[in-house]
Amino acid sequence: MTTTKSRTMQTAVLGVSGYAGAELARLLLHHPRLQGRAPIFFGRENASGESIALTDLHPQLADNNGSASLRVEAFRWAALREREIDVVFLATPHEQSRAWVPDLLTHGARVIDLSGAWRLQHPENRAVYKFEDADATIAATTQQQAVYGMPELHRAAIKDAKIVANPGCYSTAAILGLAPLVRSGWADLNRGIICDAKSGVSGAGKAPTAKTHFMYAADNLSAYSIFGHRHTGEILEQLHLAPQQMTFTPHLLPIPRGILATIYVTLREPMQASAIAECYRSFYKDSPLVRFHGERLPQIQHVVRTNYCDIGFALAGDGRRLIVVACLDNLLKGAAGQAVQNMNLLFGWPEQEGLL
């Protein structure tokens, strides 16, 4: 679909019922470049399949600027052209995104997919999703067009992408925390990297389960998906690591939202703290949504409900044992906020616009 700068871009969101979908709707509704042309919300949000008011689904989105008139409509393929939709955000299950994206591309829409459907290029990493593609050739061609949507690593490629595969929340924290060290060659990969990450309950999605039920999660801390979490492959691929070079363990925190990743690295040679700090500052000097705090360690309470990833570190006296802490809001920088950051890049706007 050809877009022009003479009109406001038309966005659409497919799948707005979840936590990330609600945050995405909020950000798009208040984005300064989208004023006067509200997002179109698609989905079947009640049993009858009829449209319902967005504010019935998410009362927190109610305002005095017309949000009460917005509906969550039943999706129609023809609407993509009829409504001149420039970009479609998919906040849908992995399997639905995997099935629908090839058809969305044939209708001329650019896609920002918040699911894990197109994040992984290597079949051995993608196997964790157990996708059953209807046409393997089409799926492979589509996969080749997908750009991993981490602006701090792939800014240039995202600008021209047809499919932006929005990163996972844990992956965002781990990759941003590690990328400067790994790309500089300072990390001793033979000693292995350990990423111990903890997430609030919203990271598991809106549908309740036995382990996200209040009676299980409250006053508790539990590890899960050890050696098998879906985000592990993203970390390996983006940092070009072998499986034996990284151990990633996620934990469930009894809080609504937020991620804290504590990353243990051995350096190849003794380093000074000032050199570590300069490495991070240089790497992220053009990344407005990464806040590097040097030797002050970040905390979840400082990033929750923001679109920042905060990073800090501590270096042992031997100059080799390094701990990096990366912190973010899993629903914003780890999902909806990063999706809007990617939209900004697609349209040539400052990537932090509408996010600060």
Residues identified as active-site = 169
Are the CB atoms for 279 and 224 separated by under 8 Å? no
- Produce one character per residue of 48-77: b if its CB has 16 or more CB atoms within 10 Å, e if not: eeebbbbbebbeebeeeeebeebbbbebee
Helix 337-346 vs helix 19-29: crossing angle, to nearest 10:
40
Q: Which single residue is written with the structure tokens 């109610």?
A: 62
End-to-end CA distance of the chain: 29
Structure tokens at 142: 């589509």
Are the CB atoms for 344 and 354 separated by under 8 Å? yes
Strands (E), 188-292: 193-199, 222-223, 246-252, 259-266, 290-292
CA distance linking residue 340 with residue 353, whole number of Å: 9
Dihedral sign (CA 299, 300, 302, 306): positive
Rg value, the chain, Cα:
20
> What are phi and psi for residue 188, nearest 5 degrees?
-80, 95
- Produce one character per residue of 253-282: b if its CB has 16 or more CB atoms within 10 Å, e if not: bebebbbbbbbebbbeeebeeeebbebbee
CA distance linking residue 245 with residue 232, whole number of Å: 12
